[in-house]
Amino acid sequence: MSLRAPLAVAFDLDGTLIDSKGDIAAACNRALVAVGRSPLDEDVIARFIGVGARVLLARALDLEPDDALVDRALAAFQPFYDANAAVRTTLLPGAIAVMDALAPRPLALVTNKPRSSTLAVLKALAIDTRFAFIRTGSDGPLKPHRRAVTDALDALGVAPADAWMVGDAEQDVRAGRAAGCVTIVVRGGFQSAERVEASRPDLTVDSLLDVAALVTKLGKR
């Protein structure tokens, strides 16, 4: 595939720009205990991350997302996570480098995380001003729905064909492809490599530093 330098880039958050596994797992286990269940291992919970808090808790509880117990767990999860969203969460290697390399192109954040916890994390990590548009799970259909990406690109005034979607998971690839973007996967996220590769990203890289190097190589348009 022949790549062109993008006019804008949409980034996923969890597992792509940040390692949030510890704080999400802590909030999930807090919710499980609140509804009378036993806590789970952090690595087990990590496999459920990326498709929104409701689905994460439903998977942790082994229930359907519309079960009443999931509602109770979510009521315990969300306020705790909002207040503790960046206790252990860190930027992943290359996060600042890739955002710097892309300047002055507009950047969008496209996450399935609720807006409250998204903003809490971004502010705590001092990257809240890096994005020209933030599209969260509170704002409409979640990834892999194409609107998660097209809403952001419409706000930036950039056509999908001129944009990249950078993420770590199947839902990022599917949303980006459905929108019409180039899709780039950064290895090492929360999903299994086999599942991510089965979604057929346009390009797979080892780290965000590789994305930064690619941007520099392609130059500016």
pLDDT at 1: 64
Q: Is 39 a residue whose pLDDT tops 60? A: yes
Domains of the chain, start order: 8-19+89-218 (3.40.50.1000), 21-83 (1.10.150)
pLDDT at 164: 98
Instruction: State residue 74's pLDDT score.
Output: 96
Q: What is the mean pLDDT of the chain?
A: 95
What's the average model confidence in pLDDT over 106-112? 97
Instruction: Check if 210 is active-site.
Output: no
Q: What is the reported pLDDT for 191? A: 85
Tell me what pLDDT residue 41 has: 96
What is the pLDDT averaged over residues 98-108? 96
- What is residue 220's predicted lDDT score, i.e. its pLDDT? 62
Are 76 and 35 in contact by the 8 Å Cβ rule? The answer is yes
Mean pLDDT across the stretch 81-95?
95
pLDDT > 80? residue 210 = yes
Q: What is the mean pLDDT of residues 10-31?
A: 97
The span from the CA of 108 to the CA of 48, in Å, is: 24
Please tell me the predicted confidence (pLDDT) of residue 221: 57
Do residues 173 and 200 touch, judged by C-beta distance below 8 A?
yes
pLDDT digits (tens, 9 = 90+) for 141-180: 999 999 999 999 999 999 999 999 999 999 999 999 999 9
Q: Which long-range contacts (CB under 8 A, 24 or more apart) does 157-162 make?
A: 158/7, 158/8, 158/106, 159/7, 162/4, 162/6, 162/7, 162/8
Q: Greater confidence, 133 or 1?
A: 133
Q: Please pick, among 12, 19, 151, 168, the residue that the annotation labels catalytic.
A: 12
Torsion, Cα 46 120 142 88, to 10 degrees, reads -10
Q: Check: pTM over 0.85? Answer yes or no.
A: yes
The pLDDT of 37-52, averaged and rounded, is 92
Mark residue 219 as left, alpha or beta (left: phi above 0; alpha: psi -120 to 50; beta: remaining).
Answer: left
